[in-house]
Amino acid sequence: MDTLERKRNLTRILVHLILILVSITMLTPFLWMTLTAFKTTTEATSVNPFVILPSHWRTDAFSAVITYMDFGRLYWNTILMIFFRVLLAVVTASTAGYAFARLRFPGKEIFFSLVLFQMMVPSQIFIIPQYLMVAKLHKLNTIFALVFPGMVTAFGTFLLRQGFKSLPRDLEEAARLDGCNIGQTFLYVMMPLTRSSMVALGIFTSVFAFKDLFWPMIVNTDKNMLVLSSALAKMQGQYVSKFPELMAASLIACVPMIILYVLFQKQFIEGIATSGGKL
């Protein structure tokens, strides 16, 4: 083996070592969450000896948090919030994205600058008036309140506009010659071709709705109307140092999204990161 080859091998091993070390750092919190969730509080807080694996895999912590909080309800609220946000985002963003990408009409530039402007402003500046609007409509503690700020999406409009811009123009011409009006051309020809952008927007919207804490926490305070993340915030006060319970609740909240991620990792990574990079 010549020295160059040996050097290459050494580099390769070093690179793997670094990446394995980083992977361990990324996975340890999830692993520790899982291990703690199956322990008793005594085991979790034992220092001498320090307990790594639970002696028995107990599910007491899980039953405790499930009795304290109706997780079925939390999942349901979270899913409804995500469903309506995704539906509205995809519908409004693809129609607007198409118009901004392909149609000519007066006011287009001004209206598009609204889209760009919204993306540049920190979203907290909208929160108080949005909250007051929901309160005035007597819609606090409803699914509507959870969906409200996400009914339209500047980011999604931008993303879909990029998607439509990348399609060839001949398609529309052909559809027009076949007698389609603009609405039909959009619905039957153009929209189906931006499926990958719509999927990306759907995943992006779902993940960020799922992660959001601030808005669900302020609009829905009724125990039955919480979502997973705001329920965790509430439980933290309840189970101050009952670590197995807190970890069990965190695990229940995170596992479905993690499973979906592992199954559709390519779409997730593209939807969340790559579409963010297209701005």
Q: Which is nearer to another protein, 193 or 272 (CB)?
A: 272
Rounded to 5 degrees, what are φ and ψ at 272? -85, -50
For another protein, which stretch binds (CB under 8 A), given 53-61, 79-87, 91-99, 165-173? 91-99
Residues 60-89 within binding reach of another protein (CB under 8 A): none
**Under the criterion CB under 8 A, does residue 213 sit at the interface with another protein?**
yes
Q: Which is nearer to another protein, 83 or 264 (CB)?
A: 264
**Under the criterion CB under 8 A, does residue 258 sit at the interface with another protein?**
yes
User: Where does residue 51 rank: exposed (0-12), middle (13-18), buried (19+ CB within 10 A)?
Assistant: middle
What Å distances lie between residue 64 and 229, 240, 259, CA to CA? 18, 14, 24
In single-letter form, the type of residue at position 1 comes to: M
Kindly state the smallest distance separating residue 218's Cβ from another protein, in Å: 5
Q: Which residue has the tokens 């409509």?
A: 137
**Under the criterion CB under 8 A, does residue 199 sit at the interface with another protein?**
no
**Under the criterion CB under 8 A, does residue 4 sit at the interface with another protein?**
no
Q: Which is nearer to another protein, 224 or 236 (CB)?
A: 236
Kindly state the smallest distance separating residue 9's Cβ from another protein, in Å: 13
Q: Which is nearer to another protein, 62 or 186 (CB)?
A: 186
Q: Which two tokens stand for residue 116?
A: 């760009």
From candidates 55, 63, 224, 265, binder to another protein by CB under 8 A: 265
Q: Which is nearer to another protein, 149 or 202 (CB)?
A: 149
Residues 111-170 within binding reach of another protein (CB under 8 A): 111, 114-115, 117-118, 120-133, 148-149, 151-154, 157
**Under the criterion CB under 8 A, does residue 272 sit at the interface with another protein?**
yes
Kindly state the smallest distance separating residue 141's Cβ from another protein, in Å: 15
Kindly state the smallest distance separating residue 250's Cβ from another protein, in Å: 4
Kindly state the smallest distance separating residue 252's Cβ from another protein, in Å: 9
Residues 6-65 within binding reach of another protein (CB under 8 A): 11-12, 15-16, 18-19, 22-23, 25-30, 32-33, 36, 44-47, 50
